[in-house]
Amino acid sequence: MLSGPSFAIEVARGQPTALVAASSDAALAERAVEAFHGDVLRVYTSTDVVGVEVGGAVKNVLAIATGIVDGMPEAGLNARAALITRGLAEITRLGLALGARGETFMGLSGLGDLVLTATGDLSRNRQVGLMLARGLALPAILEQLGH
């Protein structure tokens, strides 16, 4: 599994990016590093596949929620920070219950991916939340986003 804080357009542009290659087979993860690691793309390894999967999936829900908060000016930035912080705690709890290692959620596929997806203007999930806050219906949002 290859995951971590990255927007595809920035990777394609050759902008600095760091990812994690997770596999229960450490040698396979190392082969991914050899294949992808370069001057602007850093790839690190992990054997915590469950943690990387949970971090990579659940951060999308929190990105939508953060977009909703960001779309409500009366909520403020304190609410955004609280949502992201408490969200990370919940992601960690879920991951631990599923057998992940806690330290995974402090790395690229946890905190890193969550912060980028929840706050980055290129995040489709954050955009969904922003549009939901404006009162748009989900089908209209998906049509507008084109996916």
DSSP 38: -
Threshold 0.85, pTM exceeds? yes
- For the residues 119-125, what does the mean pLDDT come to? 96
Interior CA angle at 119 toward 106 and 136, to 5°?
A: 130
Closest CA to 59 of 119, 15, 18: 119
Q: How do residues 2-41 score in pLDDT, each as one tens digit?
A: 999 999 999 999 999 999 999 999 999 999 999 999 999 9
3-state secondary structure of 45: strand
- For the residues 63-86, what does the mean pLDDT come to? 96
Q: Which residues are catalytic?
A: 59
